[in-house]
Amino acid sequence: MASLSILGVTGSVGRSTVKVLKEAPGRFQIEAVAGGRDPEALAALAVDLGARFAAIADPQAGRRLAELLSGTGIACGAGPGAVLDAAQRPADMVVAAISGIAGLVPTVAAFGRGRRVAVANKECLVAAGAFFMAEAERTGTVLLPMDSEHNAISQALAAGRREDVEKVTITASGGPFRTASREEIARASAKDALRHPNWSMGAKITIDSATLMNKGLELIEAHHLFGIPANRLETVVHPESVVHGLVSFRDGSVVAGLAMPDMCVPIAHCLGFPERLDTSCRRLDLAKVGRLTFEAPDLERFPALRLAIAAMEAGGSAPTVLNGANEIAVAAFLEGRIGMLGIAAIVEETMAKLPLGIVPASVADALDLDSGARHVALSLLPKFAAKAS
């Protein structure tokens, strides 16, 4: 029985991981689980999974978590230090599903020789990609991509030699505003943006999907994760979300990863790797799908994708600044403080105000650059507040 820790167990990816685990009884012993601010949900999952340790990031929730776990035999802790404890406890595999830049420190802390780390946090690779990959290699950590797109690409890359890869394509659903005009996007509310047509995800990633920033972040992630040059990476809009990634080889062959839009598919692949797990995931029936369509992304209506591509090409601290500013802008949009178009505008102006040539060489470097980007983005919120719908 393999041991497993789940960082971000109360989030969307964490709960999907639990669903997959329930269909693989006897395969895993849960060493640790970590959550953010919901002690009731974390305690219930810890008990249900038979975890040995539970950590909650919010220090104020520690007392409540301890009360809920009293008598269960499950040890617990609260605060960032406890989350690091969860990441570092002895486990064969760690699912890194804490969203945002908050996931960087515990994910790196989980690295260890022979340990498999399933990465569902793209911000780690966006904010500190070169360092992140170098540290994984230095520590002998095996990284497994858990994002649906990168998981599909990793499987497609196995079809040939890396030097024979001509191009890698990441697909985008287009989100809820795929056919909307710029004016309609400008008027959109957070409620409108959270209505994703294909995926059920957390609020932040759903907004990123609506702006197409998510695809830009995924391009940067793929650049570092697979060592693919920026000029050999592209994204294409694919509304059905059936084809998740494609790899084009020098002989004209194209290998694609297909599955129904269900996070349980890439999660099961990572948990079982190199074997395959039995799951109840929805099966792809192409006859029922009927048609697969593709179109180029519109960088005028979705400037966030344009900014992310530019950041990937620029390198240095550009992706780190992009990510930090975006997290601030998305939070402000969800709070109704700025309009939809204000997200990309704040990111672009933040990037224009900061030097972008510094390559983060450590977690501390990445966090310092992120902090600077957040400070500038916060200072710009009043400028764009009047444009909120």
The predicted pLDDT at position 260 comes to 95
* CA–CA distances in Å: residue 21 to residues 72, 208, 291, 329: 21, 28, 33, 35
Across-strand partners of 254? Answer: 248
**Domain count across the chain:** 3
**Are residues 104 and 174 located together in one domain of the fold?**
no
For the residues of 358-388, what is the DSSP string, one character each?
A: PPP-SHHHHHHHHHHHHHHHHHHHHHHHTT-
Whether residue 300 contacts residue 177, with contact meaning beta carbons closer than 8 Å, is answered with no
Does residue 266 fall inside a structural domain? no
Does residue 268 fall inside a structural domain? no
- Looking up residue 77, the CATH number of its domain turns out to be 3.40.50.720
Residue 136 predicted with pLDDT over 70: yes
Backbone angles phi, psi at 180, to 5 degrees: -80, 150
Mean pLDDT of the region 214-225: 96
Summarised one tens digit per residue, pLDDT across range 291-307 is 999 999 999 999 999 99
Task: Give the pair of three-digit tokens for residue 230.
Answer: 């920026």
pLDDT band of residue 195 (cuts 50, 70, 90) is: confident
Mean pLDDT of the region 193-213: 86
Summarised one tens digit per residue, pLDDT across range 92-133 is 999 999 988 999 999 999 999 999 999 999 999 999 999 999
Residue 319 predicted with pLDDT over 60: yes
pLDDT band of residue 66 (cuts 50, 70, 90) is: very high
**Are residues 185 and 225 located together in one domain of the fold?**
yes
More confident residue, 100 or 55: 55
Task: Give the pair of three-digit tokens for residue 313.
Answer: 């090409």
Residue 222 predicted with pLDDT over 90: yes
pLDDT band of residue 272 (cuts 50, 70, 90) is: very high
**Are residues 142 and 166 located together in one domain of the fold?**
no
Last residue of a domain, one of 146, 164, 179: 146
In angstroms, the CA 109 to CA 83 distance is 10
Whether residue 316 contacts residue 373, with contact meaning beta carbons closer than 8 Å, is answered with no
In angstroms, the CA 191 to CA 327 distance is 18
Does residue 372 fall inside a structural domain? yes
Last residue of a domain, one of 102, 126, 146: 146
Task: Give the pairing type, strands 116-119 and 142-145.
Answer: parallel
In angstroms, the CA 330 to CA 315 distance is 22
Residue 59 predicted with pLDDT over 80: yes
**Are residues 45 and 26 located together in one domain of the fold?**
yes
**Are residues 121 and 185 located together in one domain of the fold?**
no
- Please provide the average confidence, as pLDDT, over all residues in the chain: 95
Mean pLDDT of the region 132-160: 97
Residue 388 predicted with pLDDT over 50: no
For the residues of 100-158, what is the DSSP string, one character each?
A: SGGGHHHHHHT--TT-EEEE--HHHHHHHHHHHHHHHHHHT-EEEE-SHHHHHHHHHHT
Does residue 111 fall inside a structural domain? yes
Does residue 233 fall inside a structural domain? yes
Mean pLDDT of the region 72-89: 97
**Are residues 129 and 210 located together in one domain of the fold?**
no
Mean pLDDT of the region 125-148: 96
**Are residues 299 and 154 located together in one domain of the fold?**
yes
What is the CA angle 112-103-51, rounded to 5?
Answer: 65
The predicted pLDDT at position 389 comes to 43
Summarised one tens digit per residue, pLDDT across range 11-49 is 999 999 999 999 999 999 999 999 999 999 999 999 999
C-alpha 57 chain-centroid distance: 19
Mean pLDDT of the region 327-353: 96
The predicted pLDDT at position 203 comes to 87
What is the CA angle 226-122-7, rounded to 5?
Answer: 115
**Are residues 251 and 370 located together in one domain of the fold?**
no
Across-strand partners of 233? Answer: 168
Give me the amino acid identity at 228.
I
pLDDT band of residue 386 (cuts 50, 70, 90) is: low
**Are residues 293 and 165 located together in one domain of the fold?**
yes
- Looking up residue 331, the CATH number of its domain turns out to be 1.10.1740.10
The predicted pLDDT at position 199 comes to 66
For the entire predicted model, the pTM comes to 0.94
What domain range is 327 assigned to?
A: 315-389
